[in-house]
Structure formats: C-alpha cells, structure tokens
Homo-oligomer: A and B are copies of this chain.
Amino acid sequence: MTIDPNQFRDIDPGKRVLMGPGPSDVSARVLQALAAPCIGHLDPYFLEAMNQTQQLLRYLFQTENALTIPVSGTGSAGMETCFVNLVEPGDEVVVCVNGVFGTRMADIVGRLGGRLTRVDAPWGRAIDPQDVRQAIDGRNPKVLAVVHAETSTGVCQPLEDLAAVAKEAGALLLVDTVTSLGGMEVAVDRLGIDAVYSGTQKCLSCPPGLSPVSLSPAALEKLERRKTPVVSWYLDMGMVAQYWGSQRKYHHTAPINMVYALREALRMIAEEGLEARFARHQLNHRALVAGVEAMGLAMLVPEPERLPMLNAVCIPDGADDAKVRDALLRGFGIEIGGGLGDLAGKVWRVGIMGEASCRRNVVLFLATLETILKTQGVAVKPGATEAAANVYDDA
C-alpha cells in the first residue's frame, strides 16, 4: 500500500463563530498554550503545571476535594468515570432523564449492571424533586444522578432540592456539569455534590479532549469499599489518583499539551472572576432571548428553567432546519446546533459559551438569522437587534 502525500494540504479550517452546543470559540491565548513544546509526563515542570491545574479546577468547582483532575478523555469519558467508579453490579441507581444526556447516564448504568430507577420529565422541562422523592421511596439507592445543564434541550436543573433528596436517601449525588461549568455557578461543596464532571469545550473555551472531574471524600470512600474491581482500567480513579497525587506513580501518559491549554483557559477564568463571568453569560443570554422573541420566535424552555449558555429556539413554521443552518455556516461561518433525538428538526441550539458569550456574537447571530429567514421566505418581525441592544443598555 502506498499513498501520495501531496494530496494533503496544511490544516486551515478558516474562522468560525462557534455558537452551537460546543465546541465554543477558543482564544488565541489558549491555542498558544496548546502549542507549547511537549515535555515528559513526569517532568518537574509538568508536575507543577498539573498542581496548578488542580488548584484552578478546585476554584472553578468551588471545592476542597483532593481528587479534582482532568480525566484524559472528552466529557463523556468524565460521565463514564463517575459511574464506573461509583456503581457496582446490583447497586440501585436513580437517574433523572429529561434529554439526551440523562438517557446516556441510564444507558451506562445498565452496562455496569446497576439496578436503574428512571425519573423522567418531558424534554425541555426540569425534573420535579417530588418525583424523585417518590421514586426513591422504599428504595436504598447508592447514587442519584442528574444533569445540571441539559445540552440537548437548554434546561437548567436546580440542584438544591435534589441535593436534599439525595442526603435524605443516603445516596451519593452525581452531577453532569458539562455545559454549565464556567458559565454559571457549580458550587460543589456548598451543594454537597459527590461526583461531578464537565468538558473543556463548552464554557471553558478550551478545545475538546479533557474532562474535569471531582470526587468528594464520601465518593472516595464508596470507591475504596468496592467489592468488585472498577471495570475500566483506564478510568480507575484509585490508580489515576496516584499519578495526580503526591505519589506520582505512572498510570497512563497524560495528554500534556491539552493540560497546558486547560490550565490557560482556567487561568483566564480566574482573571475574569467567577461572578463577573456568570453575569456576562446571563446578560448575553437575556439579550439573545429578547432578540429571538422580538423576531416572533419561541424558546423551547419556560423562562425560569432556561440555561444561560445553551438556548433552544423553536424552529418557526416554514423554515427548513438544515437549509438555515447551512446558510449560517457556509455564508457567515456561524455554527449553531440542530436538535437531538425527539427534538431533531424542532429546535436550533444556540450556544453562547465562554469566549463566544459576547455582545458581538449575539448581535451578529440575530441579524444574520433574520436575514436568512427573510431570504428563505419565512415571515419574521423586525427589531431583533434593537431588542437585544435595549437589554445591554439597561444593564
């Protein structure tokens, strides 16, 4: 077998405006850190960079958890890490399902031989804590799992009440914060979250490839008391912790350059400050919604349950989902997401995450969508960008 190397050109993707469900726009600073020279995974310089990354992650998660690390895979690897370490065959696990990612959690529990109890809510609505309380009644669940920010629907799940339910039941609280972390508060210690994971490519504005994970002392105790080995060697936190901890025992080669990039993205978050960052995401969300609604389009999720960083906009009658997204991407380099599962063809998912959460993107998106819909013969009301501008002026 031979190959002609001249058929391949330099990587040159051009410039996009990433307003889909992730990845989000990555800053020049993070890309520059990513491209720093690769060094050994036991090099003293890298070990110090690991320590700093952990310190910055603890700040972002608002936790003192010692085991707070980036897992060497994307957000889904973080999900798998939490379940595979905390669930043994036969363990009762309650999973809240109101979108793709809750469904994925339930799938994983089944693969691990856990005894699954599902608590469902309609896609586009939050889980009712009373439903969870009822489902648990008479059971003894080891884990209660919930998605904080359902990327498939744009629903924000309030965690306070569920944390109380988990505590009452003596269950570990496992939370997916892939899309929320870095864009809204994820107060791990205050809420009493025991296992939490995220992704780098959403509100952290780092390329995809790592999954920040944090486990509480109670979660580590469950891990230590397991009767069966963790079925995944790669994600076995008992072993991975010995590399990230003071022992520095080799487990697998860390993704060096991705850790550089994550450290830089986290440093930028620390420079901005969590409160300012969350307020920025909230403001740009409110401006986007004002513009969308001024156009006459509807949001999928009722107002109190909306995420700031992921906005599910109902596709208006007469609009062709794929044709509109294609016009945005090919004509303007703007990426938004389509619907997943039951919501395919029904919603657009507009992300304003991390670096991409800015006034310029909001106005650009509104103006571009308005133009494209008009061009494609879909009736929209005027005044979208003005409505957004008013939100900014009032802020």
Contacts and interface: CB of A to CB of B under 8 A. Distances in A.
A20 B250 CA distance: 14
B77 A256 contact: no
Contacts of A62: 1
Interface residues of A, number: 84
Interface stretch (A117-125, A227-235, A302-310, A311-319): A227-235
B73 A72 contact: yes
Interface in A327-385: 329, 335, 340
Given A23-B253, A108-B233, A234-B76, A39 B16 contact: yes
- Main SS of the interface on chain A? loop
A255 interface: yes
Contact of A256 (B23, B58, B253): B23
17 contacts: A1-B62, A1-B63, A3-B56, A11-B260, A13-B46, A34-B257, A38-B207, A41-B208, A73-B77, A74-B252, A74-B253, A74-B255, A76-B234, A79-B233, A111-B233, A201-B253, A208-B253
Interface of A: 1-3, 5, 8, 10-16, 18, 20, 22-23, 25-26, 31-41, 43, 45-46, 49, 52, 55-56, 58-59, 62-63, 72-77, 79-80, 84, 104, 107-108, 110-112, 199, 201, 207-209, 229-234, 250-258, 260, 263-264, 267, 270-271, 329, 335, 340
Given A34-B257, A40-B335, 19 more contacts: A1-B58, A5-B267, A11-B263, A12-B36, A13-B36, A13-B46, A23-B39, A31-B257, A38-B207, A39-B335, A41-B208, A43-B329, A74-B255, A77-B234, A80-B234, A111-B230, A111-B232, A207-B258, A209-B255
